[in-house]
Structure 1
Amino acid sequence: MICVPITEDNVEDAVKTANSIDCDIVEIRLDYLEDASKIDFLAKIKKPKIATCMPKWEGGRFGGGEEERIDILLSAIDFCQYVSIELGTSEKLRGDVVKKAKEKGVKVIVSYHDFKSTPSRDEIIKILKDEETAGADIAKAAFIPESASDVRKIMSVIGDKHIWIPVIVIAMGELGRMSRARSLLMGSYLTFASSGKGKESAPGQMSVQEIRETLKWLKK
């Protein structure tokens, strides 16, 4: 699946972009919105949705308190098919999100982002396993590679026998750019693509058109 993060700063533009972009699923970046309290706007978005409210400490934009952030996510669960919560969130607050999501039949993505480096392969596996233990239906991990071997290491965990749930594994930045398309062919649950230039939510993110063109080239 190709997922487009919606990075608009107001709900009107967020709804318009989400409904017009040609993709399989959208990630609603609630941390980008000037006012994310009126969450019922999500009902106007017809595509499958991932609700995300990423805090500044994980590379996002939400600067409020943790309880406020979790309240936003808990409200969003009523309108979405997926909710994404960071592994670094306190166990209690993360548990509140997981509990409500499971009750509502909403799939949980537990995520981890490292915008500085790439750990060992064993550590990547441990992170994904920790996410599974935390209640993830889908485990997500994103890293900044410092070499081509780092990219290969990140991609190599897709399909690892020690991980029993679907994974989203991302090599960010320019070094990992091509792997964003290649990961889909290797079995990653989805890949993220921007709605257009200047709308990227992470370094190295391709546009939807670029992802599709790259996939065609890789399949030749």
Structure 2
Amino acid sequence: MRTVTVKNLVIGQGMPKICIPITGKNRAEIEQDLEIIRSMKPDLAEWRVDCYEAGKNGETIWEMLRTISDKLGEIPLLFTFRTRQEGGEKEILYEDYVKLLEKAARTGLADLMDVEVFFQPEETKALIKSLQESGVFVVASNHHFQRTPDAGELQERMRYMDECGADILKMAVMPQGSLDLCPVLEATIQMHQECEKPIVTMSMGASGVLSRIWGEFTGSCITFAAGRQASAPGQIKADEMRSVLEKLHQIKERKN
């Protein structure tokens, strides 16, 4: 399997990597997020830019991005603007979305960029190529907050992400019950066997918690965990997540 190496982190081998979101609305809240991140030492962090209320204190997104990057140090940063249609805090025009991501990539302050591949599907490939040419890795994403597609649809969506040239493929879904974990499990295993690229899948909410911890057995290589607060339903506190993943890793190693 092809791995993605960001700074000193190798994504796609060993235990799933823990990512903590930065969801602060202002500098004070973001400082709290960063303090927790530094204490919990996750593998990477995600800045949810859609949560940030830029302009209220005269500080721009780009000044905040530099602060975050400087304070994270060697912890890789995933830059994400989650649109409202996929569960985020704000709406944005596609042209503005592209400009935001491309400018963020050119700063050199983010290591990975989240791209919602079905925002404007016919233009996704060009956007991904543009971001990669600026030196960042692209996490192609798709989120379903109302349902869990069947395994076949999940696989088709991840295949499209692969065709668009993304470096990492991510699917997040909402279960309507425990049985909805089954298509996620099936699609993850199938894509891990079929695709050379790192896969990230999760089922949200209380019913989907198992999907956040089983990645080493199914092939999902990143799990999102809560720091100061969760960025999506069902996220486990990062310190608890680390403990669970380490125990599962030990069990897996003994079985081998």
Deviation, 1:101, is 2.3
**Does structure 2 conserve the Cα–Cα contact (< 8 Å) formed by 1:108 and 1:138?**
yes
Deviation, 1:22, is 1.6
**Does structure 1 conserve the Cα–Cα contact (< 8 Å) formed by 2:18 and 2:223?**
yes
Matched, 1:148 2:178: yes
Matched with 2:94 is 66
Range with greater deviation from structure 2 (207-216 or 169-178): 207-216
Residue identity opposite 1:22 in structure 2? K
Residue identity opposite 1:70 in structure 2? V
- 1:68 alignment partner, SS class: helix
Q: TM-score, normalised by structure 1?
A: 0.89
What is the percent sequence identity of the aligned residues? 27
Task: Go from structure 1 to structure 2 and tell me whether the alpha carbon gap of 1:184 and 1:28 turns closer, same or farther (over 3 Å shift).
Answer: farther
Matched, 1:43 2:69: yes
Range with greater deviation from structure 2 (199-208 or 177-186): 177-186
- 2:205 alignment partner, SS class: coil
Deviation, 1:75, is 1.9
Tell me the distance in 2 between the aligned counterparts of 1:177 and 1:149. Answer: 13
Q: TM-score, normalised by structure 2?
A: 0.77
What whole-Å deviation, never above 9, does each CA across 1:72-93 have from its counterpart, x for those lacking one? 2212222111100102221465
Matched with 2:197 is 165
Matched with 2:25 is 9
Residue identity opposite 1:97 in structure 2? L
Matched, 1:139 2:166: no
**Does structure 2 conserve the Cα–Cα contact (< 8 Å) formed by 1:2 and 1:191?**
yes
Range with greater deviation from structure 2 (89-98 or 64-73): 89-98
Matched with 1:190 is 222
Range with greater deviation from structure 2 (129-138 or 143-152): 143-152
Matches within 5 A, 1:112-127: 112-127=142-157
Segments of 4+ moved more than 3 angstroms: 39-43, 91-97, 216-220
Range with greater deviation from structure 2 (29-38 or 110-119): 29-38
Tell me the distance in 1 between the aligned counterparts of 2:51 and 2:205. Answer: 21
- 1:28 alignment partner, SS class: strand
How many aligned positions are there?
218
Tell me the distance in 2 between the aligned counterparts of 1:30 and 1:215. Answer: 28
Tell me the distance in 2 between the aligned counterparts of 1:43 and 1:206. Answer: 24
RMSD of Structure 2 on Structure 1 (CA): 2.1
**Does structure 2 conserve the Cα–Cα contact (< 8 Å) formed by 1:151 and 1:171?**
yes
Structure 1 unaligned runs (5+)?
Answer: none
> Higher helix share goes to which structure?
2
Larger RCO of the pair (alpha carbons < 8 Å, separation 6+): 2
Structure 2 unaligned runs (5+)?
Answer: 1-16, 55-59, 252-256
Matched with 1:175 is 207
Matched, 1:28 2:28: no
